[in-house]
Every structure is written in structure tokens, then in C-alpha cells.
A and B are shown apart, each in its own frame.
Chain A
Amino acid sequence: EDQVTQSPEALRLQEGESSSLNCSYTVSGLRGLFWYRQDPGKGPEFLFTLYSAGEEKEKERLKATLTKKESFLHITAPKPEDSATYLCAVQARGSQGNLIFGKGTKLSVKP
């Protein structure tokens, strides 16, 4: 069964304290892995798509990486405005193409 597990569930950082969020997945062939950011009471905001192991993408203080079993979202020198819930989703090959989401990691960055 296709599955996505995100860890930790919650992460508290001080401003400037770099860290990483993990997304472990089990799928029968990966078509794509997606990272989203969600602020309270709002819809998820698309961040990155990764398609193959070894691929990396960056946007401001965020960097996403991908291996055959997991993806990391690295946050460098975070600021309070980076506080949000970060969602990971995968799309498997040969399936109907639906996204399978993890439960998310709630990130809090304190000044």
C-alpha cells in the first residue's frame, strides 16, 4: 500500500536555527513528490516538485532533496514568517494519479 509518513509532527526552532523536515514514502514507483506549505485556515501553497532520486530544488531559505525512500525539506536560518505546516505528497506511477498526503509537520519559529 502506498504510504507517506512525515516527521516530526511538530518542530519548534529559534530564529536562525537551521533544521530539516522528513518525508518517508512507500510507493510502487514514484512519479513525483510534492511539498506544500499551509498557513492556518488557508489552502496549501505549492512549493516544490521532485521527480527522481538525487534531485534538489531551492527557494529562498528552503531546499528540498529526494532519495529513493525519503525527501528532506531543509530550512536554513528560518524566520518567524516560515512558521506553517509543511505537507508532503507523492504520486505513484500506474495508479490513478492521485496524490497521497502525509499528516504534515507543524513548524514554529520563535524570534
Chain B
Amino acid sequence: ETGVTQTPRHLVMGMTNKKSLKCEQHLGHNAMYWYKQSAKKPLELMFVYNFKEQTENNSVPSRFSPECPNSSHLFLHLHTLQPEDSALYLCASSQDHGQGSEQYFGPGTRLTVT
């Protein structure tokens, strides 16, 4: 595997379900990110982890819970989601955070909440 991988690629869940999104980066980076991408909107930053420490929680509802067990893996735990949470969820990584280094994105998880 190379770059940034995400699983699953597609997920359909009911509003009462609990599911998790997984991201893994094979680039040796120290920072990882979760973004939400909805139609007609810019990418919205959700969470930032730098050296496994969460440095940003961009006013994200508590029904989204991130976890970063090490600098290569990032999870997004989902529970009691709303239909408006349906979107493409993107994971990214960069060498460091805030120092001008580019972010590399995974393919995303297309989430549909029914």
C-alpha cells in the first residue's frame, strides 16, 4: 500500500447505528486530518492530529469522535448521525502541521445516513 488509504470506500448507515472510518498513511508523516466534503461547499476541516495529539476540533458535533492511536492510523467513530451528515469524508496527512507542507489525501469514504 502506498500513500493514504481509507476504508470503507462506501458506507450506508441508519441514524441509530455506530460505525467507524479508518485511515492509514504510508508516508511517514506526523500530522493527520479529517475533512468533510459536501456538494457546493469548500472542504471543511474537522480534526487535526499532530504527533498523535489532537490540536484542532473545528466545532464538530460530538456524534463524531476521532481516535489517533499512532502517527500512521486515524479513526473516525460515528454514532447517532443525522441525514445532513451524508457526505464524502476525507483523510489527509502531511509531514508536519502548519509549516507550509502539502497535505496528501486518501480516496475518501462516501457516507450515506438514512
Contacts and interface: CB of A to CB of B under 8 A. Distances in A.
A8 interface: no
Nearest to A31: B100
Given A34-B102, A96-B56, A96-B98, A42 B108 contact: yes
Contact of B55 (A91, A96, A101): A96
Contacts of A51: 100
Contact of A42 (B40, B56, B103, B107): B107
Interface in B42-90: 42-43, 45, 48, 55-56, 58, 88, 90
Interface string A3-32: 010000000000000000000000000011
B42 A46 contact: no
Contact of B98 (A42, A44, A49, A91): A91
A98 B105 contact: no
Given A87-B43, A96-B98, A101-B43, A46 B48 contact: no
B64 to A, nearest CB: 17
Contacts of A43: 4, 6, 90, 92, 105-108
Given A96-B48, A103-B41, A46 B103 contact: yes
A67 B104 CA distance: 24
Interface string B22-46: 0000000000000000001111010
A36 B40 CA distance: 17
Contacts of B100: 31-32, 49, 51, 91
In order of increasing CB-CB distance, the 3 nearest A-B pairs are A97-B98, A43-B105, A32-B100
